[in-house]
């Protein structure tokens, strides 16, 4: 439907998965639309706006067609946002979608997946189609109306393929 060419979404490098029985990866999600949010648990815009939006995505769409996934991309205050703190945060705020911890760079700074996607900061929302291509990457906030439309477009593309 479009003349644009989209590259495959780079694989995620995740050191630990939470809220899910088995580790996830992009190959395993093939066939489903993926809405993935890079966040930090101490980023106010993530806590107040982007994570509640991802939860709405998780609660609104059929999980066999749309996968809502969080990626904890810690690039500052590393000691303050440990896996232990993240686990308590997700529990207390009732964020029950799968969350992967972006693998830290042993040299410090930006974690591996965040760097591979050239993200500018958090929150960053990725839309990945059912064939694993990165269709959109947005730093900051996108309105629900627009996001709902974008998700449906990818769902129907997958269904009609």
Token pair listed for 29: 């999600």
Per CB under 8 A, which region of 20-28, 52-60, 109-117, 131-139 contacts a copy of itself?
52-60
Q: What angle do CA 125, 131, 132 make, to 5 degrees?
A: 40
Total count of residues recorded for the chain: 161
Task: Pick from 44, 106, 108, 161 the residue near a copy of itself by CB under 8 A.
Answer: 44
Looking at residues 117 to 146 of the shown chain, list those that interact with a copy of itself (rule: CB under 8 A): 143-146
**In the complex, what is the shortest distance from the CB of residue 50 to a copy of itself, in angstroms, rounded to a whole number?**
13
| H or E element, residue 41 | none
**What 3 state SS string does 90-138 have?**
HHHCCCCCCEEEECCCCCCCCCHHHHHCCCCCCCEEEEECCCCEEEEEE
Nearer to a copy of itself, 108 or 160 (CB): 160
Nearer to a copy of itself, 13 or 151 (CB): 151
Nearer to a copy of itself, 27 or 145 (CB): 145
Q: Mask: binding to a copy of itself, 60-99, rule CB under 8 A, as x and -?
A: xx---------------x-xxxx-xx-xxx-xxxx-----
Q: Compute how many residues bind a copy of itself; rule: CB under 8 A.
A: 39
How far are the Cα atoms of 6, 8, 68, 132 from residue 30, in angstroms, in the given order? Answer: 15, 11, 13, 6
Nearer to a copy of itself, 22 or 79 (CB): 79
**In the complex, what is the shortest distance from the CB of residue 88 to a copy of itself, in angstroms, rounded to a whole number?**
3
Q: In Å, how far from its chain's centre is CA 29?
A: 12
Task: Pick from 6, 10, 19, 47 the residue near a copy of itself by CB under 8 A.
Answer: 47
Whether the CA torsion 160, 59, 84, 127 is positive or negative: it is positive
């Amino acid at each position: 439907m479009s003349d644009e060419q989209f590259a495959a979404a780079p694989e995620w490098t995740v050191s630990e998965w939470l809220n899910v029985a088995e580790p996830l990866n992009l190959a395993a999600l093939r066939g489903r639309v993926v809405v993935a949010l890079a966040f930090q648990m101490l980023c106010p815009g993530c806590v107040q706006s982007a994570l509640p939006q991802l939860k709405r995505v998780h609660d609104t769409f059929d999980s066999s067609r749309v996968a809502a996934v969080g990626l904890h991309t810690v690039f500052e205050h590393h000691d303050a946002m440990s896996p232990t703190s993240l686990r308590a945060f997700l529990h207390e705020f009732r964020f029950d979608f799968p969350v992967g911890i972006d693998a830290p760079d042993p040299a410090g700074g930006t974690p591996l997946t965040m760097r591979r996607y050239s993200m500018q900061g958090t929150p960053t929302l990725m839309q990945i189609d059912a064939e694993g291509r990165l269709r959109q990457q947005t730093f900051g906030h996108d309105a629900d109306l627009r996001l709902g439309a974008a998700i449906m477009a990818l769902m129907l593309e997958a269904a009609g393929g």
